[in-house]
Structure 1
Protein backbone atom coordinates (compact mmCIF):
# COMPACT_ATOMS: atom_id res chain seq x y z
CA UNK A 1 0.00 0.00 0.00
CA UNK A 2 1.36 3.39 -0.97
CA UNK A 3 1.05 6.51 1.18
CA UNK A 4 -1.47 7.80 -1.39
CA UNK A 5 -3.53 4.61 -1.00
CA UNK A 6 -3.43 4.95 2.78
CA UNK A 7 -4.58 8.59 2.75
CA UNK A 8 -7.29 7.88 0.17
CA UNK A 9 -8.57 5.02 2.31
CA UNK A 10 -8.62 7.24 5.42
CA UNK A 11 -10.64 9.94 3.67
CA UNK A 12 -12.83 7.25 2.08
CA UNK A 13 -13.78 6.00 5.53
CA UNK A 14 -14.75 9.54 6.47
CA UNK A 15 -16.87 9.74 3.30
CA UNK A 16 -18.64 6.49 4.21
CA UNK A 17 -19.32 7.77 7.72
CA UNK A 18 -20.59 11.11 6.38
CA UNK A 19 -23.03 9.19 4.17
CA UNK A 20 -24.13 7.15 7.17
CA UNK A 21 -24.67 10.19 9.37
CA UNK A 22 -26.65 12.02 6.70
CA UNK A 23 -28.70 9.06 5.44
CA UNK A 24 -32.43 9.85 5.83
CA UNK A 25 -31.64 12.74 8.17
CA UNK A 26 -34.38 15.35 8.39
CA UNK A 27 -33.60 19.06 8.30
CA UNK A 28 -34.68 19.64 11.91
CA UNK A 29 -32.16 17.07 13.19
CA UNK A 30 -29.47 18.23 10.76
CA UNK A 31 -29.60 21.73 12.25
CA UNK A 32 -30.45 20.88 15.88
CA UNK A 33 -27.99 21.85 18.59
CA UNK A 34 -27.61 19.57 21.61
CA UNK A 35 -27.08 22.58 23.86
CA UNK A 36 -26.24 26.23 24.15
CA UNK A 37 -23.76 27.12 21.44
CA UNK A 38 -22.89 23.53 20.52
CA UNK A 39 -22.28 22.69 16.87
CA UNK A 40 -24.93 20.97 14.80
CA UNK A 41 -24.53 17.94 12.55
CA UNK A 42 -24.98 20.27 9.59
CA UNK A 43 -22.19 22.58 10.71
CA UNK A 44 -19.83 19.71 11.55
CA UNK A 45 -20.21 18.02 8.16
CA UNK A 46 -20.14 21.33 6.27
CA UNK A 47 -17.00 22.36 8.18
CA UNK A 48 -15.11 19.10 7.68
CA UNK A 49 -15.98 19.15 3.99
CA UNK A 50 -14.91 22.78 3.65
CA UNK A 51 -11.60 22.16 5.43
CA UNK A 52 -10.86 19.11 3.27
CA UNK A 53 -11.81 21.04 0.13
CA UNK A 54 -9.78 24.11 1.13
CA UNK A 55 -6.67 22.23 2.17
CA UNK A 56 -6.59 19.77 -0.73
CA UNK A 57 -7.19 22.54 -3.27
CA UNK A 58 -4.44 24.55 -1.57
CA UNK A 59 -1.80 21.85 -1.90
CA UNK A 60 -3.00 20.81 -5.36
CA UNK A 61 -3.07 24.38 -6.66
CA UNK A 62 -6.66 24.04 -7.87
CA UNK A 63 -9.92 25.87 -7.33
CA UNK A 64 -12.05 24.52 -4.51
CA UNK A 65 -15.00 22.27 -5.34
CA UNK A 66 -17.18 24.68 -3.32
CA UNK A 67 -16.78 27.44 -5.89
CA UNK A 68 -15.78 25.49 -9.03
CA UNK A 69 -18.88 23.28 -8.95
CA UNK A 70 -21.37 25.89 -7.74
CA UNK A 71 -21.85 24.64 -4.20
CA UNK A 72 -21.28 28.09 -2.68
CA UNK A 73 -24.34 29.37 -4.55
CA UNK A 74 -26.39 26.28 -3.74
CA UNK A 75 -25.68 26.51 -0.02
CA UNK A 76 -26.47 30.26 -0.17
CA UNK A 77 -24.83 30.99 3.17
CA UNK A 78 -24.19 34.55 4.28
CA UNK A 79 -20.44 33.87 4.44
CA UNK A 80 -17.42 34.69 2.35
CA UNK A 81 -16.87 31.78 -0.06
CA UNK A 82 -13.40 31.27 1.46
CA UNK A 83 -14.90 30.69 4.93
CA UNK A 84 -14.58 27.10 6.13
CA UNK A 85 -15.75 27.57 9.67
CA UNK A 86 -12.44 27.63 11.53
CA UNK A 87 -12.86 29.97 14.49
CA UNK A 88 -16.61 30.36 14.11
CA UNK A 89 -18.43 31.74 17.11
CA UNK A 90 -21.55 29.85 18.23
CA UNK A 91 -23.64 32.46 16.43
CA UNK A 92 -21.71 32.04 13.17
CA UNK A 93 -21.92 28.25 13.42
CA UNK A 94 -25.68 28.43 14.02
CA UNK A 95 -26.04 30.52 10.85
CA UNK A 96 -24.67 27.62 8.78
CA UNK A 97 -28.15 26.27 8.10
CA UNK A 98 -31.00 26.36 5.62
CA UNK A 99 -29.78 23.46 3.48
CA UNK A 100 -30.64 19.78 3.44
CA UNK A 101 -28.66 16.63 4.07
CA UNK A 102 -28.74 15.66 0.38
CA UNK A 103 -26.89 18.81 -0.68
CA UNK A 104 -24.37 18.35 2.11
CA UNK A 105 -23.77 14.71 1.13
CA UNK A 106 -23.37 15.69 -2.53
CA UNK A 107 -20.81 18.35 -1.64
CA UNK A 108 -18.84 15.99 0.56
CA UNK A 109 -18.81 13.25 -2.12
CA UNK A 110 -17.58 15.76 -4.72
CA UNK A 111 -14.88 16.94 -2.32
CA UNK A 112 -13.81 13.37 -1.65
CA UNK A 113 -13.69 12.60 -5.38
CA UNK A 114 -11.44 15.62 -6.00
CA UNK A 115 -9.25 14.62 -3.04
CA UNK A 116 -8.90 11.03 -4.27
CA UNK A 117 -8.02 12.30 -7.75
CA UNK A 118 -5.27 14.48 -6.30
CA UNK A 119 -3.95 11.80 -3.95
CA UNK A 120 -3.64 9.29 -6.79
CA UNK A 121 -0.71 11.32 -8.08
CA UNK A 122 1.06 11.85 -4.76
CA UNK A 123 4.31 9.92 -4.26
CA UNK A 124 6.14 9.19 -1.03
CA UNK A 125 8.75 11.80 -2.02
CA UNK A 126 6.02 14.43 -2.49
CA UNK A 127 5.08 14.12 1.18
CA UNK A 128 8.32 15.91 2.15
CA UNK A 129 7.46 19.05 0.12
CA UNK A 130 6.92 22.11 2.32
CA UNK A 131 3.44 23.51 1.69
CA UNK A 132 3.12 26.10 4.47
CA UNK A 133 5.93 28.21 5.91
CA UNK A 134 3.67 30.03 8.38
CA UNK A 135 4.47 27.45 11.07
CA UNK A 136 7.65 26.51 12.89
CA UNK A 137 8.62 24.00 11.75
CA UNK A 138 7.19 24.53 8.26
CA UNK A 139 4.35 22.17 7.32
CA UNK A 140 5.06 19.43 4.78
CA UNK A 141 2.49 17.92 2.45
CA UNK A 142 2.47 14.74 4.53
CA UNK A 143 1.76 16.63 7.76
CA UNK A 144 -0.97 18.68 6.08
CA UNK A 145 -2.70 15.58 4.66
CA UNK A 146 -2.57 13.75 7.99
CA UNK A 147 -4.00 16.87 9.63
CA UNK A 148 -6.90 16.87 7.15
CA UNK A 149 -7.60 13.18 7.83
CA UNK A 150 -7.46 13.76 11.58
CA UNK A 151 -9.73 16.81 11.53
CA UNK A 152 -12.28 15.11 9.28
CA UNK A 153 -12.31 11.92 11.38
CA UNK A 154 -12.84 13.88 14.59
CA UNK A 155 -15.70 15.92 13.18
CA UNK A 156 -17.52 13.03 11.53
CA UNK A 157 -17.24 11.19 14.85
CA UNK A 158 -18.82 14.17 16.61
CA UNK A 159 -21.60 14.23 14.01
CA UNK A 160 -22.20 10.50 14.43
CA UNK A 161 -22.42 10.98 18.19
CA UNK A 162 -25.03 13.69 17.69
CA UNK A 163 -26.97 11.51 15.26
CA UNK A 164 -27.04 8.80 17.92
CA UNK A 165 -28.02 11.32 20.58
CA UNK A 166 -30.93 12.57 18.47
CA UNK A 167 -32.04 9.17 17.17
CA UNK A 168 -30.58 5.99 15.76
CA UNK A 169 -27.64 5.53 13.44
CA UNK A 170 -25.93 2.39 12.30
CA UNK A 171 -22.41 2.86 10.91
CA UNK A 172 -21.77 1.49 7.42
CA UNK A 173 -20.41 -2.05 7.35
CA UNK A 174 -16.85 -2.63 6.33
Structure 2
Protein backbone atom coordinates (compact mmCIF):
# COMPACT_ATOMS: atom_id res chain seq x y z
CA UNK A 1 0.00 0.00 0.00
CA UNK A 2 1.41 3.38 -0.93
CA UNK A 3 0.73 6.82 0.54
CA UNK A 4 -2.01 7.63 -1.96
CA UNK A 5 -3.80 4.42 -1.06
CA UNK A 6 -3.67 5.29 2.65
CA UNK A 7 -4.96 8.83 2.08
CA UNK A 8 -7.70 7.64 -0.29
CA UNK A 9 -8.76 4.95 2.18
CA UNK A 10 -8.94 7.45 5.05
CA UNK A 11 -10.93 9.94 2.96
CA UNK A 12 -13.18 7.15 1.70
CA UNK A 13 -14.05 6.11 5.24
CA UNK A 14 -15.36 9.61 5.90
CA UNK A 15 -17.67 9.28 2.91
CA UNK A 16 -18.92 5.92 4.17
CA UNK A 17 -19.59 7.52 7.55
CA UNK A 18 -21.43 10.46 6.01
CA UNK A 19 -23.70 8.08 4.12
CA UNK A 20 -24.38 5.93 7.21
CA UNK A 21 -25.18 9.09 9.16
CA UNK A 22 -27.57 10.47 6.55
CA UNK A 23 -29.24 7.19 5.58
CA UNK A 24 -32.94 7.46 6.37
CA UNK A 25 -32.57 10.53 8.54
CA UNK A 26 -35.50 12.95 8.53
CA UNK A 27 -35.41 16.73 8.43
CA UNK A 28 -36.25 17.07 12.13
CA UNK A 29 -33.22 14.98 13.04
CA UNK A 30 -31.00 16.83 10.55
CA UNK A 31 -31.87 20.17 12.13
CA UNK A 32 -32.02 19.02 15.77
CA UNK A 33 -29.80 21.07 18.07
CA UNK A 34 -29.27 20.07 21.71
CA UNK A 35 -29.48 23.75 22.61
CA UNK A 36 -29.75 27.07 20.79
CA UNK A 37 -25.97 27.45 20.44
CA UNK A 38 -25.23 23.89 19.30
CA UNK A 39 -24.54 22.66 15.78
CA UNK A 40 -27.02 20.52 13.88
CA UNK A 41 -26.24 17.45 11.80
CA UNK A 42 -27.11 19.39 8.64
CA UNK A 43 -24.72 22.20 9.53
CA UNK A 44 -21.93 19.80 10.57
CA UNK A 45 -22.10 17.79 7.33
CA UNK A 46 -22.35 20.97 5.24
CA UNK A 47 -19.40 22.49 7.13
CA UNK A 48 -17.14 19.43 6.92
CA UNK A 49 -17.86 19.24 3.19
CA UNK A 50 -17.31 22.95 2.64
CA UNK A 51 -14.03 22.77 4.54
CA UNK A 52 -12.83 19.80 2.50
CA UNK A 53 -13.95 21.42 -0.75
CA UNK A 54 -12.34 24.79 -0.02
CA UNK A 55 -9.04 23.33 1.15
CA UNK A 56 -8.72 20.79 -1.67
CA UNK A 57 -9.47 23.55 -4.18
CA UNK A 58 -6.83 25.75 -2.58
CA UNK A 59 -3.98 23.23 -2.44
CA UNK A 60 -4.65 21.91 -5.96
CA UNK A 61 -5.34 25.36 -7.51
CA UNK A 62 -8.82 24.53 -8.75
CA UNK A 63 -12.30 25.98 -8.38
CA UNK A 64 -14.40 24.73 -5.50
CA UNK A 65 -17.05 22.14 -6.32
CA UNK A 66 -19.48 24.38 -4.39
CA UNK A 67 -19.38 27.02 -7.12
CA UNK A 68 -18.09 25.07 -10.13
CA UNK A 69 -20.95 22.55 -10.00
CA UNK A 70 -23.69 24.91 -8.80
CA UNK A 71 -24.13 23.50 -5.30
CA UNK A 72 -24.15 27.03 -3.89
CA UNK A 73 -27.36 27.70 -5.87
CA UNK A 74 -28.96 24.35 -5.02
CA UNK A 75 -28.46 24.93 -1.30
CA UNK A 76 -29.67 28.55 -1.49
CA UNK A 77 -28.14 29.46 1.86
CA UNK A 78 -28.09 33.09 3.01
CA UNK A 79 -24.27 33.19 3.12
CA UNK A 80 -21.61 34.47 0.80
CA UNK A 81 -20.47 31.85 -1.74
CA UNK A 82 -17.12 31.64 0.06
CA UNK A 83 -18.61 30.77 3.47
CA UNK A 84 -17.43 27.47 4.92
CA UNK A 85 -19.07 27.70 8.34
CA UNK A 86 -15.99 28.81 10.22
CA UNK A 87 -16.99 31.34 12.88
CA UNK A 88 -20.70 31.28 12.05
CA UNK A 89 -23.33 32.39 14.53
CA UNK A 90 -26.09 30.26 16.02
CA UNK A 91 -28.58 31.86 13.61
CA UNK A 92 -26.37 30.96 10.66
CA UNK A 93 -26.11 27.38 11.90
CA UNK A 94 -29.92 27.24 12.07
CA UNK A 95 -30.15 28.48 8.47
CA UNK A 96 -28.67 25.21 7.17
CA UNK A 97 -32.01 23.41 6.80
CA UNK A 98 -31.60 21.13 3.78
CA UNK A 99 -32.34 17.52 2.89
CA UNK A 100 -30.09 14.54 3.52
CA UNK A 101 -30.08 13.92 -0.24
CA UNK A 102 -28.72 17.39 -0.96
CA UNK A 103 -26.02 17.04 1.71
CA UNK A 104 -25.02 13.59 0.42
CA UNK A 105 -24.95 14.82 -3.18
CA UNK A 106 -22.63 17.71 -2.37
CA UNK A 107 -20.44 15.48 -0.23
CA UNK A 108 -20.18 12.89 -3.02
CA UNK A 109 -19.27 15.53 -5.61
CA UNK A 110 -16.58 16.94 -3.31
CA UNK A 111 -15.33 13.46 -2.47
CA UNK A 112 -14.95 12.54 -6.16
CA UNK A 113 -12.67 15.54 -6.68
CA UNK A 114 -10.77 14.88 -3.45
CA UNK A 115 -10.04 11.25 -4.33
CA UNK A 116 -9.10 12.14 -7.92
CA UNK A 117 -6.65 14.77 -6.67
CA UNK A 118 -5.15 12.41 -4.09
CA UNK A 119 -4.81 9.67 -6.71
CA UNK A 120 -2.88 12.08 -8.95
CA UNK A 121 -0.51 13.06 -6.12
CA UNK A 122 2.97 11.57 -5.93
CA UNK A 123 4.90 11.01 -2.73
CA UNK A 124 7.21 13.85 -3.78
CA UNK A 125 4.18 16.16 -4.14
CA UNK A 126 3.36 15.62 -0.47
CA UNK A 127 6.43 17.66 0.51
CA UNK A 128 5.24 20.71 -1.48
CA UNK A 129 4.67 23.74 0.76
CA UNK A 130 1.02 24.84 0.50
CA UNK A 131 0.78 27.35 3.36
CA UNK A 132 3.59 29.61 4.58
CA UNK A 133 1.49 31.28 7.32
CA UNK A 134 2.60 28.63 9.82
CA UNK A 135 5.97 27.80 11.37
CA UNK A 136 6.96 25.37 10.08
CA UNK A 137 5.22 25.92 6.76
CA UNK A 138 2.48 23.41 5.94
CA UNK A 139 3.16 20.73 3.35
CA UNK A 140 0.53 19.17 1.11
CA UNK A 141 0.82 15.93 3.07
CA UNK A 142 0.21 17.68 6.39
CA UNK A 143 -2.75 19.60 4.92
CA UNK A 144 -4.37 16.43 3.58
CA UNK A 145 -4.03 14.79 7.01
CA UNK A 146 -5.48 17.94 8.59
CA UNK A 147 -8.50 17.84 6.26
CA UNK A 148 -9.12 14.19 7.07
CA UNK A 149 -8.69 14.80 10.81
CA UNK A 150 -11.11 17.75 10.78
CA UNK A 151 -13.70 15.76 8.83
CA UNK A 152 -13.45 12.79 11.21
CA UNK A 153 -14.02 15.09 14.19
CA UNK A 154 -17.08 16.75 12.61
CA UNK A 155 -18.50 13.41 11.51
CA UNK A 156 -18.17 12.14 15.10
CA UNK A 157 -19.90 15.28 16.38
CA UNK A 158 -22.75 14.75 13.91
CA UNK A 159 -23.10 11.10 14.96
CA UNK A 160 -23.31 12.23 18.59
CA UNK A 161 -25.97 14.82 17.78
CA UNK A 162 -27.95 12.13 15.93
CA UNK A 163 -27.88 10.00 19.07
CA UNK A 164 -29.04 12.96 21.16
CA UNK A 165 -31.86 13.63 18.70
CA UNK A 166 -33.05 10.03 18.91
CA UNK A 167 -32.91 10.09 22.73
CA UNK A 168 -34.84 13.38 22.83
CA UNK A 169 -37.68 11.74 20.89
CA UNK A 170 -37.73 8.51 22.91
What is the aligned residue count?
167
Unpaired runs of 5+ residues, structure 2, are: none
- What residue in structure 1 maps to residue 72 of structure 2? 72
Of 109-118 and 130-139, deviating more is: 130-139
- What residue in structure 2 maps to residue 106 of structure 1? 105
> How far is 1:3 from its partner?
1.2
Structure-1-length-normalised TM-score: 0.92
Structure 1 residue ranges (4+ consecutive) displaced by more than 3 angstroms after TM superposition: none
Matched residue SS, 1:6: helix
CA RMSD across the alignment? 1.1
Aligned residue runs from structure 1 range 58-137, under 5 A: 58-97=58-97, 99-137=98-136
> How far is 1:167 from its partner?
2.4
Unpaired runs of 5+ residues, structure 1, are: 169-174
Between structures 1 and 2, the one with greater helix share: 2
Matched residue SS, 1:17: helix
Deviations 1:100-131 (A, max 9, x none): 11000010011111100000011111111000
- What residue in structure 1 maps to residue 11 of structure 2? 11
Partners of 1:166 and 1:11 in 2: CA distance: 26
> How far is 1:60 from its partner?
1.1
Deviations 1:107-157 (A, max 9, x none): 001111110000001111111100011122211101110000000000001
